[in-house]
Amino acid sequence: GAGVSQSPSNKVTEKGKDVELRCDPISGHTALYWYRQRLGQGLEFLIYFQGNSAPDKSGLPSDRFSAERTGESVSTLTIQRTQQEDSAVYLCASSLTSGGGNANTGELFFGEGSRLTVL
């Protein structure tokens, strides 16, 4: 079946422009994450959506960053007035969190990321 799909795979933009990154999670996955990975660095948590609960936005680095999710499907990460330090790979992941002893619960399935370059 289809995995997590992210678009665009590459985006080059000028400083000050807004960008929108899209994530299509695996169908049926209730949880969705956005992470940022700067060159040669770890995975920096940005935001976490879990079902109908209020999202955990504690990782968003500034108010220029926002994310939306429509139900349990597509999510978009928006970066306004981009800065050069926003250059990174933005990774989306989804997981099944149905509990009940499901052995697959909690495993994150990642997309291949959207590489953002801000000139």
Partner 1 sequence: QQQVKQSPQSLIVQKGGIPIINCAYENTAFDYFPWYQQFPGKGPALLIAIRPDVSEKKEGRFTISFNKSAKQFSLHIMDSQPGDSATYFCAASKGQGGKLIFGQGTELSVKP
Q: Which pair of tokens denotes residue 66?
A: 């926002």
Can you give 91-118 as a three-state secondary structure string? EEEEECCCCCCCCCCCCCEECCCEEEEE
Q: Which stretch binds partner 1 (CB under 8 A): 14-22, 63-71, 72-80, 103-111?
A: 103-111
By CB under 8 A, residue 95 contacts partner 1 = yes
Tally: H helices and E strands in the chain: 0, 10
CB 3 within 8 A of CB 111: yes
Closer of 36 and 118 to partner 1 (Cβ): 36
Window 27-66: contact mask with partner 1 (x via CB under 8 A): ----x-x-x----xxxx-x--x-x-----x----------
Contact residues: partner 1, CB under 8 A: 4, 31, 33, 35, 40-43, 45, 48, 50, 56, 91, 93, 95-97, 99, 105-108, 110-113
